[in-house]
Amino acid sequence: MAGIYLHIPFCRQACHYCDFHFSVSHKGREEVLAAMRQELNLRAAELQGQTVRTLYFGGGTPSLLTRDELMQFFDVLYAEYAILPEAEITLEANPDDITDAYFRELRNTPVNRLSIGIQSFRAEDLLEMNRAHTPAQALSCAPRAADAGFGNISIDLIFGWPRMEQEDWQQNVATAFSLPITHLSCYGLTIEPRTALSWQIVKGLRHPPDEEKAAMQYEYLLGEAERLGFPWYEISNFSKPGFQSKHNTAYWQGVDYLGIGPSAHSFNGNQRSWNVRSNAAYLSGMQRGQREFESEVLSSAEKFHELMLTSLRVREGLWLGKLRQEYGEAITGQVLEAAQPFISKGWMLRENERLSLSPAGLLLADKITSELFII
């Protein structure tokens, strides 16, 4: 089983916090999309006949694609890859792009899951974030998607935004759960270097985020999500039962995936690779019939870290049987010893063959996980 990620590297405008690869100039768009189809052709053999269980159009802004542009991708995907009929096929969409007509067109494609980048329902946040949509568009998007026949709708929110108070966040959470959604992704704001937000904070034009407030907002979200039937299944992800993102879950389970397009990452169990983070360099490489990328083969210690990082992010946690099988009894014993102080504090749970973070431990996930990097 494998997944395919397609990175659409164009956006309408630059959100101030965003560190993903994208271009607001759409010059050369047709050529880049053609090069991505070429990359799909070129790399089909890499999955060695594995069936594809998930396709994910991310970005950037995939909802800038017309139905014809999407169908051109599907033509190559279905011709070159063994895609399961029940595959989960997600398209990230921004509220400002999706008119009712666009929803209807999307329903006439294989896309069966939408991930809508709402981030906040509050006008002042959207303005400060430099999002291209309005609160009215944020509010109407999921209901219109449901009316158009989409039954699997996820939305994204950001917590910890500077000046977002607890009651503002509570209102955002209540609004999110009042919508016809099956899944919610919530990310704490991180200040990435080289973003407008980072520059504004350095220049004193904006307050830095308040970690305590962000932690309170996350705790509130955990409680509300559980109460309203969207239990957390990964540190930033909440869903109704049966609606966990199969694509992201596969990442956390170490399943192979192919990343297509500028800056997209791929993984084959042993090696990670990433395409060049420039539309022009990507295009010129593909025009020479060459994929411009870098790669690294994971060392045994890196694989171990990867296992700890990914398994402790998910509610299911780390299966000790798997750890024993892959790393032996001695390493497993050392991990349990390192985990003991956190278990005693109530930040980790040990249930038979499973070691996981408790809700209180989720807030300290990075610190706890790094303490368990015993090799």
Closer Cβ to ligand SF4, 69 or 306, answer by number:
69
Using alpha carbons, select from 306, 304, 313, 302 the residue that is nearest to residue 355. 313
- Minimum distance from residue 59 beta carbon to ligand SF4 (Å): 5
12 vs 67, beta carbon nearer ligand SF4: 12
CB of 373 to ligand SF4, least distance (A): 31
Q: How far is the CB of 94 from ligand SF4 (least distance, A)?
A: 6
Quick one: 14 or 280, whose CB is closer to ligand SF4? 14
The minimum distance between CB 353 and ligand SF4, in angstroms, equals 39
Q: String of b and e for 241-265 (b: at least 16 CB within 10 Å)?
A: eebbbbbbbbbbeebbbbbbbbbbb
**Distance between CA atoms of residues 248 and 271, nearest Å:** 18
Q: Which is nearer to ligand SF4, 117 or 285 (CB)?
A: 117
Counting beta carbons within 10 angstroms of the beta carbon of residue 44, is it exposed (0 to 12), middle (13 to 18) or buried (19 or more)? middle
Q: Running DSSP on this structure, what letter comes out for residue 240?
A: S
Residue 106 CA to residue 95 CA, distance in Å, equals 14
Classify strands 256-260 and 237-239 as parallel, antiparallel or unpaired: unpaired
Decide whether 13 or 370 has the Cβ nearer to ligand SF4: 13
Rank residues 119 and 239 by Cβ distance to ligand SF4 and give the closer one. 119
CA distance 173 to 187: 13
**Closest separation in Å from C-beta 23 to ligand SF4:** 10
What is the smallest separation between the CB atom of 140 and ligand SF4, expressed in angstroms? Answer: 18
CA contacts within 13 A on the Cβ side of 199: 6
**Measured between alpha carbons, how far apart are the two ends of the chain, in Å?**
29
In this complex, which beta carbon is closest to ligand SF4, that of residue 13 or of residue 300? 13
Cα(207)–Cα(233) distance, integer angstroms: 32
CA 88/CA 3 separation, integer angstroms: 10
Shortest Cβ distance from residue 123 to ligand SF4 (Å)? 17
Two tokens at 211?
Answer: 């970690």
Q: State the residues that interact with ligand SF4 by CB under 6 A.
A: 11, 14-15, 18, 20, 22, 59-61, 94, 117
